[in-house]
Structure 1
Amino acid sequence: MSFAARVRGLFAGPHWKIPAACLLLAAAVSMPSVAVPRDTSSVIVTFDITQSMSVEDVAMDGVPTSRIAFARAAMRDALGQLPCGSKVGWGAFTGQRTMLLLPPVEVCGNYDALLSSLERIDGHMRWTNWSRIAEGGVYSAVRAAQDVGHGAAVLFVTDGQEAPPLLHADTLARDINPGGVKGWLIGVGGDEAVPIPRTDDNGRRMGYWRAEDVIQVPEQDRAATTGPSHEELSALQGHYLESVAGHIGFRYRRLTGADSLRDAMLDARLAHREPVPTDLRWCPALLALLLLIWRFLPPVARSRAKLGAPPGG
């Protein structure tokens, strides 16, 4: 008997379900990923690494920790909750510039690399001690997203501390979101103003900033109810960040944990449709399982199933 005849015999008899299931299982093992159009997001997460982000006024598991460490921990947990196909990249902000550290890459295929690079984002990377968040940091973060393209959005994590302070007479000198890049400003920090740790060029603590060490708001620019300026202290500037977000077409939320970042990155406004490699091996594997169940189902149960009678009737 020829090989072709034997194969036909396997599938022609009553036991065809077993070789068919074997073929389906082989397909499940060897089947490559299939590009399926899906709504996905591409986000550049930018961390403020200025010295005020070293203030320890937030807590993890009841232990006080710095704002930047809290933001990194929340981002680490959020990464594990993103669906495959999502793309995430890193940026760092200080002075008047956001530097793109890593362009957005697919989360599942680059998970370990994303975690490893995330842990290295801190104040040791800082190249200056001043900060212009709105006009400088967010503007260059938007430009970086435009340069990356492919619908990249911005997630900017900061406490909102402008240094030198932003005066009431100051206005944004340029439209900082000309391309309509979508994104979120994420505020981190406590509500009570506390001293800002001072560090040297190597990241070593040198006490705290004092009032005479920093530029204060001039008396003529202060409202009568605010009292003396204390720019050596820092608290979350939530109202200011919310105002900036509204001005540039972003949204604002306070960082309370991984859910804050995950929900922002899964915001439907940030999604765009593109082919995403999708694992469909479960389809032939499921069919193989159903065939095997059908093959080894007791004869009585098969006959009852055909008649529509309940098994115990």
Structure 2
Amino acid sequence: MEIIPVIPRGYCKGVVRAINLAKQTAHKYPNTTITMLGMIVHNKYVVEACEQLGIQCVEEKGKTRLELLDKIKSGVVIFTAHGISEEVYHKAIEKGLIVVDASCDDVTKTQLIVKEYLSKGYEVLYIGKKHHPEAEAVIAISEHVHFIENENDLVNLPKYNKIMVTNQTTMSIIEIYKVLEAAKEKYPNIEILDEICNATRIRQEAIEKLENIDCLFVVGDPKSNNSNKLKEIAIEHNIPNVYLIETSNDIKEEWLKDANRVAITSGASTPTYLTNQVIQSLNNYASTNKLLHLKIDIKHLLD
């Protein structure tokens, strides 16, 4: 069995920055309550590692960042890599919280682009994933930002003279292409600004370039949009067996039966440590026909 680690994979610059900010904050405020507004990145093991540093995470399904902020009474609040709305930022200041903003630069750039076009009188279509915090922050900018999840969301929109379309940074190339084509058909003069971040794009393109792969493991959290998009692209690319796993211990031996070429990639929010464990376990299987059951050492997850 040939084991093929896909390059590139794992942490992007925005995630590295967010994790470093979290570690710096824990060091700077050792005797202060520190709370993460949502998951710092969509990986539960990274959240657990932050908790080991004394950083608590407030998260509740169906709750917006603005609603979650009500649960934080004092101390430091860390905004996640997914970006935040101005309303949330100002509310945190009004509550007297110390604010640490770990928003990814690419996410912030998209927000600035949206604001620039709104200031010029444009209506903005924003392609994203419903309830995702990155999309939530952009939609909150203005009532003239229209959320689009798929082509059907375009049907009831009126005709606009000045219109621009952009997208959440972690969407798949395939996914936004379909919506963009439908948007161009309805609005022939629409301006298109593809904001898929470079880290997301090159990881997706690396999957598209794979050939003769029998099985692909995507290491990532089920809540991670960019990890799920890697899986979807692999399926679209006709890789016969694609599995989204969180750790090496999720691998089942029957998945590897008759597999000659096995590839491994990981989402931009997945610790290298976890991906390396998957590679180690698969290499052991290739040589001994046995998967390794590896213990996760939390202290390595923020390296």
Q: TM-score, normalised by structure 1?
A: 0.27
Q: TM-score, normalised by structure 2?
A: 0.28
* More contact order relative to length (CA 8 Å, sep ≥ 6): 1
Q: Which has the larger radius of gyration?
A: 1
